[in-house]
Amino acid sequence: MWQRGLPRFCGRALLSQFLLPRQELCVWRRERAVVSDSGGGGATPSPPAMAWAATSPVDKERFICIYPAYLNNKKTIAEGRRIPMDKAIENPTSTEIQDVCAAIGLNVLVEKNKLYPREWNRDVQYRGRVRVQLKLEDGNPCLPQFPTRKSVMLYAAETIPKLKTRTQKMGGSDQNLQPGEGGKKGKGKKKK
């Protein structure tokens, strides 16, 4: 009744497919377990417990990621905001985060086509991810005032409103308003 080439999975599908009695199925499982435990053909190498420990902090894959949603005050925590609401800013962009981090001397890399997974809006304004090198080769922080990713995010949120692009936007919007406008407009008569 023993059949070679039985599939690796076990369960109801195996019983119904090959019509093995339950007792023979249990024997087959036990034999498979003994063969795998005895190391038939050599032991399989187990992956290292901490695979990231093998890579250097200088590798670009080990840089921390900062998405604009982390700093956006229009987002809830469930939508991805990671700093307090009173310190967050309105609609930051990846280029603004890059400008701020590069100005203080951090090693920065911008990935324009990346999108935060929780971001439902696929607009260009919300695209982008900034990678920042936080630690040196020996594991010490690049800048002592920024030991954690949260400290970098708080600094960026504090500094972005002071950028020229932000201050010009605010100043430009006030000039468009003229006094005397905004009165009540009535409906005009229809021309026949």
Is 10's pLDDT higher than 60? no
Which run of H or of E encompasses 165?
Answer: helix 164-175
Three-state DSSP string of 95-164? HHHHHHHHHCCCCEEEECCCCCCCCCCCCHHHCCEEEECCECCCCCECCCCCCCHHHHHHHHHHHHHHCH
pTM, entire model: 0.62
Query: Looking at this protein, which amino acid is placed at residue 112?
Result: K
pLDDT value for 184: 57
Instruction: Give me the half-sphere count of Cα atoms (radius 13 Å) on the Cβ side of residue 116.
Output: 27
Which domains can be identified in the chain, with CATH numbers? 10-34 (no CATH), 63-169 (3.30.56.30)
Compute the mean pLDDT over every residue in the chain, rounded to the nearest whole number: 78
pLDDT value for 34: 55
Highest mean pLDDT among 1-10, 51-60, 150-159: 150-159
Is 59's pLDDT higher than 80? yes
Q: Measure the CA–CA gap between 155 and 152, rounded to whole angstroms.
A: 5
- 63 with 145: CB under 8 angstroms? no
Tens of pLDDT, residue by residue over 135-160, are 999 989 999 999 999 999 999 999 99
Residue 22's pLDDT band (boundaries 50, 70, 90)?
low
Percent residues over pLDDT 70 in the chain:
61
Tens of pLDDT, residue by residue over 86-143, are 999 999 999 999 999 999 999 999 999 999 999 998 888 889 999 999 999 998 999 9
pLDDT value for 163: 93
Q: Measure the CA–CA gap between 68 and 95, rounded to whole angstroms.
A: 9
